[in-house]
Structure 1
């Protein structure tokens, strides 16, 4: 039981802390990648693709933000994919902007992935950039992404996702923001070492010729697309100065829905990308993929309950043998119990709309791993579809592109 506990603790610590430290050391030893040489003009034709299912309230701001990009207008094209929308999105775009942007409409709702596959069949520009309708990009986002394609070994580029939270934000929102800050830190390290392992759908770019149609029931399309490109030997670069800003989930229930869907998609991705587990063929890519993604989805969530149960068994053994005078397992079990009690308290307060940020770290950590286990159950049941599922976002605030 002690060996089981030690192994599980080591796996969890490596997943959330050790991997970041190890990659940081490797990057320090190998050195950072040289900065991009942007002296020569480089403005290939680009299409900004915006999947927008029933996003009518966001469209005016999204179009204005798209038009404001600091990129030569004659080389920047727009395609809004409103397939399946029944809120008047297509009619609004056509009546308001007409020939200024492309619109791909349709009455049948076949899902985001099917819409993306259809959209890519119409793209003639060498670079395609995907961005969500409910996000705002900084004005240099397109330029920053495109610059990476000066390197012929770069097949895709991921932008950064930023969560905008206010001082009075919920624990879910605060936890989501902290999570993405840590993710951005790890992506910078991954990119310096070799390649990032998974783009965020809010903002990422691909070479059009490298895009492979994705299975229509795919949940994490952005993840699958970028990893398949990496699996073909291309780098997926990371550009933190190209970022998409959005509000956190409206409530803990909305965030739970989103996290379970992502976790189900994670297990689906592990199965479909199982060939990337061959470290003898893919080397650094396998190391990063397993350490950063597979262990977070499929290892750490299962280790946590094992740690608690094994620790409980060892603590009971100490209580039954008080003559030993050693209460290390009891102390560790008490600390674990306090941590999960704080997580439970954070959850209860959140349900009552009472927020205490001191509790959001244990709350969000526990919540995230519980959603991973729930996501596995959903994946095994086959109850997750690939159709678009909107999640409510926190109260509206004015988003301005820097």
Structure 2
């Protein structure tokens, strides 16, 4: 009996995995057929002062930093090239307990002729309080109508803020994010992963909400901000979800480009994936590219277990995502989610029994 039950659960979980790899993209494609992913035209200033500048929203661009001496100068020079009225943009660099002279380098770069027009404030904190604490304090003190968050290690396309302003001119839009790219070449697996991410986000955006954004750059309405829980690991998931659950759209625009300066390597990749919280599984896909070859080799024994359990859990959260974000849930999703929880519970039971049998033998 146990053998048959294990076989049934195995194939049922396998169906869930296939759904995540194949079914979800196909379902998303079918759901977005006939939907025009229209992107608003944005006001092109060409770095000239015009009478229409006063119509643009004020933007506070906040950058938490911890020991970013290697990239802070290039970041400030990049921000100085953004096409946006100087009096409408306030940049805040929060050095959260930096010990490598990040603040000093930032002040030195601000004195350069091409950067001295930038309205940039450097806040130095003696001790590292964490990114969430920095964001809660800085965003709460902001008086601008729009808040943009960006990593120090990523460069922005010059028209990024103008595109943000165009999207947020629609009162139904609460969050806007852009496309994430690497300046230096990536492995084939990493390139495939980000290409897949961009494709999924494009289709999700046409439905009204992407599930999470990339922290390299995203912007939102200041009035919609709620304090981020102190135990939050990735603000770029929690914050957009909070805003989306209020009924606002979270959109993706590939015209906004955030270019990562840091080169991806196996060590950084392993650390990033090892630190990923469960929220990474909230979109229903688990790809083999998620695992580096070295990690696959070391976890080959446990890979099927985690793969199936996370896959089952994701399908439930996808249904929750549809329900709460009003993305037209279908009968299929309504019938599918109870089985997902059953899969997870049954898998835990089966693997426990199998483990006990192995010990006895």
Give the structure-2-normalised TM-score. 0.71
Q: Which has the higher helix share?
A: 1
Give the structure-1-normalised TM-score. 0.64
Given the superposition, is the C-alpha separation of residues 103 and 51 from structure 1 closer, same or farther in structure 2, using an over 3 Å criterion?
A: same
Is residue 232 of structure 2 the alignment partner of residue 218 of structure 1? yes
Identify the match of residue 153 of structure 2 among 124, 134, 137.
134
Asked whether the 8 Å contact 1:276–1:282 carries over to 2, the reply is no
Aligned position for 2:18: 13
Partner SS, residue 142 of structure 1: helix
Asked whether the 8 Å contact 1:131–1:203 carries over to 2, the reply is yes
Identify the match of residue 105 of structure 1 among 95, 120, 124.
124
Task: Give the superposition deviation at 1:135.
Answer: 0.9
Asked whether the 8 Å contact 2:179–2:254 carries over to 1, the reply is yes
Aligned position for 1:125: 144
More displaced, 248-257 or 236-245?
248-257
Aligned position for 2:213: 199
Aligned position for 2:103: 90
Q: How many residues align?
A: 290
Aligned position for 2:58: 45
Task: Give the superposition deviation at 1:4.
Answer: 2.5
Q: Distance in 2 between matches of 1:106 and 1:229?
A: 29
Aligned position for 1:24: 29
Task: Give the superposition deviation at 1:264.
Answer: 4.5
Identify the match of residue 153 of structure 1 among 156, 172, 191.
172
Asked whether the 8 Å contact 2:160–2:257 carries over to 1, the reply is yes
Q: Distance in 1 between matches of 2:85 and 2:107?
A: 23
Aligned position for 2:277: 263
Q: Distance in 1 between matches of 2:137 and 2:201?
A: 30
What is the correspondence of 1:266-305 to structure 2 with a 5 Å cutoff? 266=280, 277=320, 282-284=325-327
Asked whether the 8 Å contact 1:165–1:177 carries over to 2, the reply is no
Given the superposition, is the C-alpha separation of residues 249 and 13 from structure 1 closer, same or farther in structure 2, using an over 3 Å criterion?
A: farther
Task: Indicate the RMSD between aligned Cα atoms, in angstroms.
Answer: 3.5
Partner SS, residue 71 of structure 2: helix
**1:361-392: per-residue Cα shift (whole Å, max 9, x none)?**
xxxxxxxxxxxxxxxxxxxxxxxxxxxxxxxx
Task: Give the superposition deviation at 1:250.
Answer: 4.5
Contiguous gaps of at least 5 residues in structure 2: 1-5, 45-51, 284-312, 352-361
Task: Give the superposition deviation at 1:150.
Answer: 1.0
Asked whether the 8 Å contact 1:104–1:119 carries over to 2, the reply is no
